[in-house]
Structure 1
Amino acid sequence: MSKPTDSVPALRRAVRVLDMVKESARPPLAADIARQLDLPRSTVHGLLAVMVELGLLEKNATQGYRLGTRLLDWVGGVTEKRDLVTEFYQALDGFSDLDSFTVTLTLLEGMEVVYVACRNSATVLGASFRVGMRLPAIFTATGNAMLAEMDDTTFREWLTLHPASTWPNPLTPNGIRSVTTLVREIAEIRERGYAVDDEQVHDGLWCFGAGVKDYSGRMVAGVGVSLPQTDLARYDVAELGGRAVALAQAVSTRLGYRNMGTDSLGGMR
């Protein structure tokens, strides 16, 4: 079998350079990099110049290269997501009253929510959740909870970036179809303190969602508590919403957030 053609050799070379710089005892010179990686000097000089320009590498006083500060931004983003998932699961361990529910953690990415953590219940929901799954934010409880956590200016900016003409078709007959309906839904979420997916993602599936904030008060995620519509009559709806809020607050607290009594949902903005 022939070897696949490498369509992005420059990217592979850049990664090799970063690995070498990281492992070097002292900042290597361009000549050192060319020799150790067995690359043409002209290629290495061009690559290093671009990597310095992009902040991936920095030059020191002796013309050696060290890792750039831009990499710290990337590391921080990855660490933040890993910490968020860890804190979610640790907080969830303290909520035995959620053992019979499917509980999820999502991030808002543009028009979608992406599922980054999930604990499925033994109850058949009619829909399965998995890490990495994406759904339109406007149909999900976690997505609408995160939209409701935005201030009015940020929410209007989100609507401008994602006009109704770009929205996907509803997944069920209950799905939100207009800006007017979404704005009304956001107002109701802010008033009661939690979001409700009343069979918008899947027929027969309900979900209650609330937003998670980090130490700075920035909304970073949403938690969802899901159950079959057939089990809904066993609970008070407000109580289920309260369970989602309590979990979201617990995760927020673990992330260092301390101002939930003054600027959380529920008309307290």
Structure 2
Amino acid sequence: MPTSQDTVPALRRAVRILDLVRAASRPPLAADIAKQLDLPRSTAHGLLAVMVELELLDKNAAQGYRLGTRLLDWAGDVTEKRDLVAEFYHALETRPDLDSFTITLTMLDGADVVYLACRNSATVLGASFRVGMRLPAIFTATGNAMLAGMDDTSFDEWLAQHPVSGWPKPLTPNAIRSVATLVREMGEIRHRGYAVDDEQIHDGLWCFGSAVKDHSGHAVAGVGISLPQTELGRYGMEKLGERAVDLGRAVSFRLGYRGT
């Protein structure tokens, strides 16, 4: 009976190879890797060939190995997300006017939004948000804010990749159900500057969302301000939308965006 450490030996060997290559003072040869890790040469050559094919390693003219470009892409993506979350929380520190609301940060991932950060309020919402949660983008204020932040070509491509036949079942009677409704919603968001989830995710829960842009002006995330429907009259819908826009601009500014 194999132990848990022996269940995926090829993966463990690949990680050991990456660690060795990263620590080496010069790109090691296949023979060096096999010797230092005590691997059969055939095993080492097989692993190295696959890792080069997958761009986890690069092979130089002297037949030595160095870390591949795919690892750099992964590292950049992780760093970008960490920076985004950090700047989100930094922006919140200067916004005491948002302390009464649940504030969220999401990114678009295919047809869903993924929650990267949440600051829950003491107010009972009837629904809870947590990091890592996924929800259909078309039902969320942050998702629609990001979709509205796309140019027409990108939005058309998104629609082609996610046709209405594959849309999720509505979570409430208020949910968007057709392309025509979604397109009309995009126009309204672009006109007023923010998106509204009017109980599309949960009965009695409203959310106002705005896109977050990077230094190039690309919409990379969305911020949301959530509150119970019973509290709308206390603040006013337009004022809540403006707060969402202001927060989105603050995070965008911290990411280097200087546009209007």
TM-score (norm 1): 0.93
Question: For residues 6 and 139 of structure 2, what CA distance do their matches in structure 1 show?
Answer: 41
Select between 57-66 and 123-132 the one with higher mean Cα deviation. 57-66
Opposite residue 10 of structure 1, the aligned amino acid is A
1:141 aligns with 141
1:256 aligns with 256
Question: For residues 177 and 3 of structure 2, what CA distance do their matches in structure 1 show?
Answer: 49
Identity of aligned residues (%): 76
For residues 151-175 of structure 1, the C-alpha deviation after alignment (integer angstroms, 9 at most, x for no partner) is 1111111111111111111111111
2:208 aligns with 208
Question: For residues 38 and 242 of structure 2, what CA distance do their matches in structure 1 show?
Answer: 61
Paired residue secondary structure (1:38)? coil
Change in CA separation of 1:5 and 1:17 when aligned onto 2, cut-off 3 Å? closer
1:266 aligns with none
1:13 aligns with 13
Question: For residues 116 and 163 of structure 1, what CA distance do their matches in structure 2 show?
Answer: 26
Aligned length: 260
Paired residue secondary structure (1:150)? coil
Opposite residue 44 of structure 1, the aligned amino acid is A
Match status 1:34 vs 2:55: no
Deviation at 1:235, TM superposition (A): 1.2
Question: For residues 196 and 68 of structure 2, what CA distance do their matches in structure 1 show?
Answer: 44
Opposite residue 196 of structure 2, the aligned amino acid is V
Opposite residue 29 of structure 2, the aligned amino acid is L
2:173 aligns with 173
Opposite residue 208 of structure 1, the aligned amino acid is F
1:86 aligns with 86
Opposite residue 73 of structure 2, the aligned amino acid is D
2:24 aligns with 24
Structure 2, unmatched stretches of 5+, are none
Deviation at 1:45, TM superposition (A): 1.0
Select between 99-108 and 4-13 the one with higher mean Cα deviation. 4-13
Opposite residue 35 of structure 1, the aligned amino acid is K
Deviation at 1:60, TM superposition (A): 3.2
TM-score (norm 2): 0.96
Structure 1, unmatched stretches of 5+, are 262-269
Question: For residues 41 and 11 of structure 2, what CA distance do their matches in structure 1 show?
Answer: 17
Question: For residues 88 and 20 of structure 2, what CA distance do their matches in structure 1 show?
Answer: 36
Deviation at 1:64, TM superposition (A): 2.1
1:267 aligns with none
